[in-house]
Structure 1
Amino acid sequence: MLIASVCLTVSGCEGSQSSDGPEKGDALSGGNHSGGTAGYPFAAVGEKFWFAMPLSTNVSDQDIEITGAEILDVPRGIEVIGYGAYSLDDTQGIPLLVSEGYVHTPKFGKFKDYSDEGFTVKAKKVSDFLYMAHLRVTGSIQTNASKCRFEYRQGDVMYTQTLRCGLELRLKKK
């Protein structure tokens, strides 16, 4: 099923930094997509979903290369099967939250996955690629996911930046 419940609100960005890891970045914005929540209250144990992480917008004056992304606060009851980065041309837009097997769900397994090689987002431009999280429901889900971390390179420096990403899945009530 194609499900999306989006509320557009103003949201900020958070960064993370460690003394021996990437620098804290601020070149990305998730735009309106980062301010909403995609949800589905009728999930079943074993059901698989694809969740669209925020569409990267490079707000800086230099190109960046996105090299990875992940959900930081995956709720208990949800397992991450994997992540992929796909061309918006292939996905024909942004499938915010889609159930695997639904007739209108993009065929991610047939698309080129750019997550291993990374992709460039030009300065002051919105990305042509979208990170998707492939998820499986494993049990009761009581909390939401709300933080997605992106890794990117700008020049010779590696950065991480956390953007808000809203995911609300719940099991169907019996």
Structure 2
Amino acid sequence: MPIWASFTRTSLAVTVAAACFAASGCSGADPSKQARAGTALSGGNHSAGTVGYPQASTGEEFWFAMPLPTNMSNRDIKITNAEVMDAPQGIEVIGYGAYNLEDTQGLPLIVPEGYPYTPKFREFKDYSEDGFTVKSKKVSDIFYVAHLKVTGKIQKNVSKCRFEYQQGDEVYTQTLRCGLELRLKK
């Protein structure tokens, strides 16, 4: 039986008051505008822990929810991209998507592809192409997932996810902690 965890939007509302303990990164999607290190986001409780699945098999695919973005700033932001920064050997990132919590009936932290309770991500609207707005001092209704494939033995954890966002005319990147421990079954 898979380990499956889910948070509802209500249980994550406390993250609005959480302090942002994020390390900053930098990249530029638009070469004419170098991204600056951002501080507007918090990943809340999700960034504080590590989700895990110790029974994976080579070839198995998973959906890993990155931290639910909380805008700690006084201005709205538009999230335009997110990515796992440190996928270890044994994990291939197949792609990314951004989905509404209402469609997925909560935040599925790590779910195997094809299991009965795994959200049907391919059937839902994907907000990653156009980006989405997170209002000032609010928790997002939309979250990013990384679609992962196990390719072999995994000895390290995923620990960093980078978000790119716009606030006014400025482009920012910010790295949040995102713990995932995925291991092959013994």
Query: Normalising to structure 1: TM-score of the pair?
Result: 0.93
| TM-aligned CA distance change 1:100 to 1:18, over 3 Å | closer
What residue number does 2:137 align with?
124
Percent of aligned pairs sharing the same letter = 67
Write the distance in 1 (CA, Å) between the matches of 2:55 and 2:117. 18
Does residue 147 (structure 1) correspond to residue 148 (structure 2)? The answer is no
Q: Deviations over 1:22-76 (max 9, x none)?
A: 0000000000011111101110000000000000000000000000000000010
Kept in 2: contact 1:69–1:151 (CA 8 A): yes
1:42-57 equivalences in 2 (<5 Å): 42-57=55-70
Kept in 1: contact 2:22–2:176 (CA 8 A): yes
What residue number does 2:93 align with?
80
Q: Deviations over 1:98-125 (max 9, x none)?
A: 0000000000000000000000000000
Unaligned runs of 5+ in 2: 7-18
Write the distance in 1 (CA, Å) between the matches of 2:49 and 2:116. 25
Kept in 2: contact 1:30–1:163 (CA 8 A): yes
Does residue 13 (structure 1) correspond to residue 22 (structure 2)? The answer is yes
Query: Normalising to structure 2: TM-score of the pair?
Result: 0.87
Equivalent AA in structure 2 for residue 139 of structure 1 = G
Kept in 2: contact 1:64–1:122 (CA 8 A): yes
Runs of 4+ more than 4 Å apart: none
What residue number does 1:104 align with?
117
1:128-139 equivalences in 2 (<5 Å): 128-139=141-152
Give the drift of 1:16: 1.4
Question: What secondary structure, in the 3-state scheme, does the structure 2 residue paired with 1:13 have?
Answer: coil
* CA RMSD after TM alignment: 1.9
Q: Deviations over 1:78-117 (max 9, x none)?
A: 0001000001110110000000000000000000000000
Question: What secondary structure, in the 3-state scheme, does the structure 2 residue paired with 1:33 have?
Answer: helix
Unaligned runs of 5+ in 1: none
